[in-house]
Structure 1
Amino acid sequence: MVKSRLSSKGQVTIPKPVREALGLSPGEEVVFEIREGEAILRPRRRVPLEALLGRLGGRHPFPGEEGEVRAREEAWAQGQR
């Protein structure tokens, strides 16, 4: 068991063994979850946007950056007529 002390400002230093076990680096965010009177600390992992592509099952696949530019240009050209 690893201990830490609460400061007068309500701050706690996460001990080195805990930081290492969770793979935490300075500046990373953590999440506190309260369950049955206990606090659970876990890293807040951000999911890269690329990992979310295709998850919503849209009607049309993403055409890629070039296709998106082409579609905007075509839509603009049609609006200019």
Structure 2
Amino acid sequence: MSTMRISQLAERTGDSPTTLCFYERAGLLPAGRTPAGYRVYGEDAVDRPAFIWMRSRTAPSRAAPNAAFSIQPSPSQGPEGWR
């Protein structure tokens, strides 16, 4: 499995590293760590920020934003299918 650092993920998703860190702290975007402590993400993380953004816009309540993330995207479905 290939991995990428947060700057590489940010470049591929169009999100800022700060946004990706926010998603990680919220428990929405899991990241591994290198022995030196750098965040690393797998290929499966590339579509996740778009899914998070879409679900946050359709959440029934802003009081419980994490409830909107109980439905996981299908691995075969890309962001174009979420719109």
**By the TM > 0.5 criterion, same fold?**
no
Ranked by relative contact order (alpha carbons within 8 Å, sequence separation 6 or more), the top structure is 2
Quick check: which has more Rg, 1 or 2?
A: 1
* Greater helix content: 2
Shorter-chain TM band: under 0.3
Normalising by the residue count of structure 2, what TM-score does the alignment of the two structures yield?
0.21
Using structure 1 for the length normalisation, give the TM-score: 0.22
